[in-house]
Amino acid sequence: MNCRHLASIDPPPPRSDGCEECLEMGSDWVHLRLCLNCGHVGCCDDSPNRHATKHYRAIHHPIIASYEPGERWAWCYADETELPVPSAALSYLR
């Protein structure tokens, strides 16, 4: 699958160690996802608050990567396709 978004991003470092919104709310999450457009860390769709998906719906940053230890995959919401993690983002993952 082609993703025209991947080539246009320059991933910044993660902005937090956990889901930004859950940390503020005092809520829990299951897995973490990193927005490769802005460094937002949000929780996955198995989490009660689904902040990674909410971030995409609110701000339309299309590409996330897993921010779970040892996991190396990315996902484009707009194209609904799995992607390799861009090499520029690899050093930010856990």
Rounded CA separation 60/46 (Å): 20
Residue 68 interacts with Zn ion (CB under 5 A): yes or no: no
What's the Cα-to-Cα distance from 25 to each of 20, 28, 51, rounded to whole Å?
9, 9, 12
Residue 5 interacts with Zn ion (CB under 5 A): yes or no: yes
Work out the angle at residue 73's Cα, subtended by the Cα atoms of residues 25 and 57, and round it to the nearest 5 degrees: 45
Residues 25-64 that bind Zn ion (CB under 5 A): 29, 35, 37-38, 40, 43, 49, 51, 61
**Which residues of this chain interact with Zn ion, rule CB under 5 A?**
3, 5, 19, 21-22, 29, 35, 37-38, 40, 43, 49, 51, 61, 76, 78-79
